[in-house]
Amino acid sequence: MSNHPSMNIPIARTGLTEPEIQSVLEPLRSGWLVQGPKVRDFEQAWSAFTGAEHSIAVTSCTTGLHLSLAALGFGPGDEAIVPAFTWISTANVVEHLGGSVVFADIDLATFNIDPAGLEELITPSTKAILPVHLFGLAADMEAINAVARRHGLWVVEDAACGFGSTFKGSHVGSLGNTGCFSFHPRKAITTGEGGMITTNDAQLAERLRRLRDHGAAMSDLQRHLGPRPYLLADHPEAGYNQRMTDLQAALGASQMQRADAIVAERRHLAATYDTAFADLDWLQTPAAPAGYGHGFQSYPCLFEPIQVHQALKTGNQQQLNAVHERRNAWMEELQQQGVSTRPATHAVHMLSYYRKKYELKAEQFPAAQAANDCSISLPLFHGMLADEQKHVIDVVLSRLL
């Protein structure tokens, strides 16, 4: 078994090049720091890459989700369906607008919302579904949109991890009313903090642009480029300040110049893992359903899937807990050997705010609970060296030796 005491492989690394780092200096020198020409460039590059008609840069995916629901008219008393296994902010934005979260269980094969149970969650108060393209794999948007159409619901895609993710040939983000991407450092393209909303609805795009900028009818850039730059804009509504800085956008736009290469490299790394782990029955590697293009924001696995499915079938919490303990012991072992791992993400219904507010039990969403307790993400990031990946593979394959 390999022993590299010097190897210390992080779960993710930003992989920024020197020219990308240098790009941040340009707005600092020009003096245009907030939502100016660099934000415009980044938005154009994002639309060109994703095929979305409109891209609206914001401060994070979370603020993008919040702004999307606000712009659509979601408010107090409304319900939104959210998968139980996702980052907490998919649910938090519903709370921030005075709505109620209705959790849906996931499909353990994909870690995404299970459309089969969706329709029975709908009540007269349901206004929106927030499907999540978790870890770079699109949710089943055909099934979700069909339910949404039947019941007149808005669809806001949480595409935080969705860079490079396609569904039947279309990039995610314009399959619902809006899609929201994240540029947190754990995501493939990073601006530190940052987000992008995409939509094909021109009117909605205009409202989103206003709402992110204090409700102003005209952006500062438009005003400065226009005929009377000295006059202030009107504010037809009370908006927010969710503008991206030009420093962030410069960094984002510069990474977009190699967007295709970034996606290709991440897919190649994933394929190398897939091949290496193909014979392990105790590790379920990420699903690759036909018609889905995986962006591989991360490489989420399910530990001991046979035991997990057995436990779910019989409702055996003890068996599930035993797998959970063995996963944790293995994570510790990996850490000792210089391989960082994480649970793929958390089950939001098990976090105390939601558990208490909605009086939920972990086993009410059994697949989400199992994903919370028994998933493990392995290091995957563009710029990962062949040596580093080989070390991860050697350590994983040595588990039962």
Ligand X SMILES: *Cc1c(COP(=O)(O)O)cnc(C)c1O
User: Active-site positions?
Assistant: 187
- In this structure, are residues 188 and 165 in contact, taking their beta carbons and an 8 Å threshold? no
Interaction of residue 182 with ligand X, rule CB under 6 A: yes
Q: CB of 234: closest distance to ligand X in angstroms?
A: 30
Judged by CB under 6 A, which stretch of 57-65, 119-127, 232-240, 303-311 contacts ligand X? 57-65
**Residue among 95, 61, 101, 64 at smallest CA distance from 81:** 101
The label of the residue with tokens 């107090």 reads: 76
* Closest approach of ligand X to the CB of residue 279, in Å: 30
Q: Are strands 112-113 and 126-129 parallel, antiparallel or unpaired?
A: unpaired
- The nearest distance, CB 130 to ligand X, in angstroms, is 9
134-153 positions binding ligand X, by CB under 6 A: 134
Round to whole Å and give the CA distance between 259 and 133.
Answer: 19
Binding mask 350-379 for ligand X (x = CB under 6 A): ------------------------------
Supply the minimum distance, in Å, between the C-beta of residue 93 and ligand X.
9
Contact criterion met (CB below 8 Å) for 98 and 77: yes
Residue among 24, 94, 128, 132 that touches ligand X (CB under 6 A): 132
Phi and psi at 304, nearest 5°, equal: 45, 60
* Whole-number Cα distances in Å, 318 to 37, 304, 374: 57, 14, 13
Q: Is 87 in the site for ligand X (CB under 6 A)?
A: yes
Give yes or no for residue 110 binding ligand X (CB under 6 A).
Answer: no
Q: In which residue are the tokens 């202030």 written?
A: 232
Across-strand partners of 180?
A: 158, 197
Tell me the torsion sign for CA atoms 314, 316, 322, 328: positive
Nearer to ligand X, 129 or 132 (CB): 132
The reply on whether position 195 binds ligand X by CB under 6 A is yes
**59: three-class secondary structure by DSSP:** coil
Binding segment (CB under 6 A) for ligand X, from list 7-15, 76-84, 156-164, 229-237: 156-164
Using the rule CB under 6 A, give the single segment among 31-39, 54-62, 282-290, 349-357 that binds ligand X.
54-62
Torsion sign (Cα): 306, 309, 313, 318: positive
Least distance (Å) between residue 297 CB and ligand X: 7
How many whole angstroms separate alpha carbon 127 and alpha carbon 211? 20
Strands 112-113 and 106-107, by their bridges, are: antiparallel
Please report whether residue 184 would count as binding ligand X according to CB under 6 A. yes
Task: Decide: is 61 part of the binding site for ligand X (CB under 6 A).
Answer: yes
| Residue from 50, 55, 89, 255 binding ligand X (CB under 6 A) | 89
One residue of 23, 35, 50, 60 binding ligand X per CB under 6 A: 60
Residues within the interface to ligand X (CB under 6 A): 60-62, 86-87, 89-90, 132, 134, 158, 160-161, 182, 184, 195
